[in-house]
Structure 1
Amino acid sequence: MIRKLLPDPLLTLGLIALWLVLNRSYGLGHWLFAVVLGVLVPLLVQPLRPVPVFFKRPGLAFVLFWRVGLDVVVWNWRILRGTLATGDKVPKGDFVVVPLDLRDPNGLAVLAAILCVIPGTIWSELALDRSALLVHVFDMKHAEEEIQTIKNRYEKPLMEIFQ
């Protein structure tokens, strides 16, 4: 019964707190509206949510988080050097098709976030059957190397975490 009314209690609490903090008012009307908002929004978006998330390897998720953070720093420097380069040192961006073994929708969503957060890469298109991914790389040196980097650094750990 309570699970039907509150499908995501943390989201409900977060929305209530966010409403109150953003409005900087804690009157009865704001509390009532915050509770209504906190209950209704999770109920309305529940059909839009993918399958439930189950972390099979939370320790690996932590390692992946730090790996992505390090990659963001490294790629920021590569982008900076690339934008300042002249002549034949100017980076050559290109698209690469990455065949996917990852099928879990939550894992694919995390992969999309990773590729969009790391400077120099962007998730461009996912095949309808989820078998391949089109990625643009800012500084493409070797396509096969970029494919293996994406598969080994991101897809493989995500498969261990989500599948």
Structure 2
Amino acid sequence: MIRSRAWLPTPVFSLLLLFVWLLLARSVSPGNIVLGGALAILIPLLTHRFWDSRPRIKKPLKLLRFVLRVLGDIITANFEVAYLIANPWRKLNPHFIEYPLILEDRFTITLLASTISLTPGTVSANLRMDGKSLLIHALNANDEEALIKQIRERYERPLKEIYEC
């Protein structure tokens, strides 16, 4: 008996690949369905051993709250950055900050770095090789410690609670 997990290591990803293939082909012909289905099976089969395992979501409701918080922060930061740009007489204080990480799992560190980069005015620039700190560029960082505390409380601690790590 052949286990379905062996043929479809990531079934949701396979469905997404098939869907994207059909969108790119702009046709739902039998040939495109067969070709897209073959790609949707082969690509995950050939690449799944290179992927890191994702930690399990421990608190899904906190994840929803985290996503809503990030969306709100993105909207707020867009207005703040627009205000800074629209007022050229304001003196900006761009700064690189070395952010010490509490997180240890590569997946959650990637989520944190992506969240920081999604928020206008901040960009994750580099992760140290030892994985202990993240280099962040802030467009207007008046208080380095306040920014570190804000990132830790708003993003890093919730990620640590959400995922089992």
Task: Work out whether the TM-score is over 0.5.
Answer: yes
Structure 2 SS opposite 1:42: helix
| CA distance in structure 1 between the aligned counterparts of 2:8 and 2:116, rounded to whole angstroms | 33
| CA distance in structure 2 between the aligned counterparts of 1:140 and 1:129, rounded to whole angstroms | 25
1:5–1:43: 8 Å Cα contact kept in structure 2? Answer: yes
TM-score, with normalisation over the residues of structure 1? Answer: 0.94
The residue number in structure 1 matching 2:61 is 59
The residue number in structure 1 matching 2:71 is 69
Q: Deviations over 1:36-75 (max 9, x none)?
A: 1000111122123112330011111111101111111111
| CA distance in structure 2 between the aligned counterparts of 1:114 and 1:82, rounded to whole angstroms | 21
TM-score, with normalisation over the residues of structure 2? Answer: 0.93
Query: After TM superposition, where is structure 1 displaced by more than 4 Å over at least 4 residues in a row?
Result: none
1:83–1:90: 8 Å Cα contact kept in structure 2? Answer: no
Q: Deviations over 1:74-132 (max 9, x none)?
A: 11111111112233x22211011111010112211211210111000000111111111
1:125–1:133: 8 Å Cα contact kept in structure 2? Answer: yes
Q: Could you say what the CA RMSD is over the residues aligned between the two structures, in angstroms?
A: 1.2
The residue number in structure 2 matching 1:106 is 107
1:124–1:134: 8 Å Cα contact kept in structure 2? Answer: yes
| CA distance in structure 2 between the aligned counterparts of 1:120 and 1:58, rounded to whole angstroms | 28
The residue number in structure 2 matching 1:33 is 35
The residue number in structure 2 matching 1:123 is 124
| CA distance in structure 2 between the aligned counterparts of 1:26 and 1:150, rounded to whole angstroms | 45
Identity of aligned residues (%): 30
State the aligned residue count: 162
Shift of 1:17: 1.9
| CA distance in structure 2 between the aligned counterparts of 1:41 and 1:7, rounded to whole angstroms | 10
Q: Does 1:48 align with 2:50?
A: yes
| CA distance in structure 2 between the aligned counterparts of 1:128 and 1:78, rounded to whole angstroms | 33
| CA distance in structure 2 between the aligned counterparts of 1:80 and 1:17, rounded to whole angstroms | 37
Give the AA of the match of 2:91.
V
Gapped regions of structure 2 (runs ≥ 5): none
| CA distance in structure 2 between the aligned counterparts of 1:52 and 1:119, rounded to whole angstroms | 27
